[in-house]
Amino acid sequence: MNRTHPSTLVAFTVGGLAFAYLAELALVSGGASAIVPPVSLAITLVGVAVLVVAMAWPIRQSVRGDSDRRVDPFRAARVAVLAKASSVTGALVLGVGLGITAFLLTRSVLPPAATIWMGVATAVGAALLLAGGLVAEHFCTLPPDEPDDEEEAANA
């Protein structure tokens, strides 16, 4: 499995930003009130980021040889997939949080500051999930294979 490419993360962030901004615009234009994420979403995103990194830590120790415990390869693969999903989801929700914040800040009558800060808190929580997913991916990466001495002698 390849590591998450930065262009993928940028694409998901921009897509989330555009979707959230346009969805808020459509809702308000239709007479409904704007959707503002609760602060519990930001807390949950940070909690998930901590859990993903905590699940990847034993794998990192095993890969580096710091631990005598052997890690099940299927568990390591599952944690790596979870880390990748967390980074992509973090990028998408980061874009949504930024889109909601941008929409609220571009209104002629600004909403209460607490409303704007909830959008910012969502973006910060999502950025931490994104970072946690990338760190966990790094923890689950195997070091490159070292060439054998015989191969080096044959190539010399």
**HEC sequence for the chain:** CCCCCHHHHHHHHHHHHHHHHHHHHHHHHCCCCCCCCCHHHHHHHHHHHHHHHHHHHHHHHHHHCCCCCCCCHHHHHHHHHHHHHHHHHHHHHHHHHHHHHHHHHCCCCCCCHHHHHHHHHHHHHHHHHHHHHHHHHHHCCCCCCCCCHHHHHHHC
Residue type, 12: F
C-alpha span between 98 and 39 (Å, rounded): 15
Q: What is the pTM for the complete model shown? A: 0.86
Residue type, 101: T
Summarised one tens digit per residue, pLDDT across range 75-125 is: 889 999 999 999 999 999 999 999 999 999 998 888 888 889 999 999 999
Mean pLDDT computed over 27-48: 93
What is the rounded radius of gyration, in angstroms, for the C-alpha atoms of the chain? Answer: 21
Q: Per-residue confidence at 155, pLDDT binned at 50, 70, 90?
A: low
- Residue keyed to tokens 């010399």: 156
153 pLDDT higher than 60: no
What's the pLDDT at 4?
87
Q: Give the chain's length.
A: 156
C-alpha span between 53 and 139 (Å, rounded): 8
127 pLDDT higher than 90: yes
Q: Token pair of 49, please?
A: 């980021």
5, 88 contact by CB (below 8 A): no
Summarised one tens digit per residue, pLDDT across range 42-78 is: 999 999 999 999 999 988 888 877 767 787 889 889 9
Domain residue extents for the chain: 7-143
